[in-house]
């Protein structure tokens, strides 16, 4: 989820190396290996994630990279399948700033005991600049594991309750637009059409892999961690 609807387009600047010139091949390799946030209607967003069986140094590095991506995109929550990974894992930091707030990692989350209902505006890093009202339980109980393998559980209210429900939906392949009322859904339909047209044209240029390639990549990660 993004921090608010008023985020700008500012991204952190990265100093370019001056004394070292990596080869084109190496640059291309880094570019290919980097995690990216996928946008609607990328098929990874409809993938039902499998429970994670293990956590290793590579997975910790992936989670670190997810936090950096989330901060750069002005977000407060990000699910693994939003970066093309099929794990039941998501991250959150309600402050949305590195060095502020608490960095939370939820592995294999289970939600229970929903109470009350509340409608609030939501957004999603996979739907840049699209916002709409979503009705959800006000309070929820979550139990999950953190990166250290410790079980964490608690009853959540307010923004964290909403973020945890939004991100757990992602792990089931459910998107916030699915949960909008028919009227709110109609209001965002034109924007969804634009996302779809853009996706098809980026796929036509080869920038976005085919469904078969996405499925193969998800299956490879699953065989390694799930
Ligand atoms: Zn989202």
How many contiguous H segments (helices) and E segments (strands) does the chain have? 5, 7
* C-alpha 195 – ligand 1 centre gap (Å): 15
* C-alpha 199 – ligand 1 centre gap (Å): 17
Looking at domain 36-221, its CATH architecture is: Alpha-Beta Complex (3.90)
Residue tagged active-site, from 167, 172, 196, 220: 167
- 96 near 71, Cβ under 8 Å? yes
Beta-bridge partners for 87: 50
What count of other Cβ atoms lies within 10 Å of the Cβ of residue 205? 7
119 in active site: no
- 169 near 88, Cβ under 8 Å? no
pTM of the model: 0.87
| Residue 224, both tokens | 């390694």
- Residue 140 CA to chain centroid, in angstroms? 20
The one-digit pLDDT tens for each residue of the chain (226 residues) are 887 554 333 322 233 334 456 667 666 655 556 899 999 999 999 999 999 999 999 999 999 999 999 999 999 999 999 999 999 999 999 999 999 999 999 999 999 999 999 999 999 999 999 999 999 999 999 999 999 999 999 999 999 999 999 999 999 999 999 999 999 999 999 999 999 999 999 999 999 999 999 999 999 999 999 9
- Residue 23 CA to chain centroid, in angstroms? 31
């Amino acid at each position: 989820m993004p921090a608010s609807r008023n985020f700008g387009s500012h991204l952190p600047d990265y100093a370019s190396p001056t004394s070292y010139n990596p080869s084109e091949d190496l640059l291309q390799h880094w570019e290919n290996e980097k995690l990216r946030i996928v946008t609607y209607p990328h098929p990874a967003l409809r993938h039902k994630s499998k429970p994670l069986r293990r956590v290793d140094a590579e997975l910790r590095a992936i989670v670190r990279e997810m936090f950096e991506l989330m901060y750069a995109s002005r977000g407060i929550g990000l699910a693994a399948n939003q970066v093309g990974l099929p794990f039941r894992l998501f991250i959150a930091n309600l402050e949305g700033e590195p060095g502020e707030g608490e960095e939370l990692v939820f592995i294999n989350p289970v939600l229970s005991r929903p109470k009350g209902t509340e409608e609030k505006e939501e957004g999603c890093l996979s739907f840049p600049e699209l916002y709409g009202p979503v009705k959800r339980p006000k309070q929820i109980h979550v139990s999950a594991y953190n990166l250290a393998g410790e079980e964490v559980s608690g009853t959540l209210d307010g923004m964290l309750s909403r973020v945890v429900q939004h991100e757990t939906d992602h792990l089931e392949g459910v998107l916030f637009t699915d949960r909008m009322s028919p009227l709110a859904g109609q209001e965002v339909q034109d924007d969804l059409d634009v996302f779809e047209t853009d996706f098809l044209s980026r796929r036509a240029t080869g920038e976005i892999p085919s469904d078969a390639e996405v499925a193969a990549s998800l299956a490879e990660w699953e065989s390694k961690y799930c």
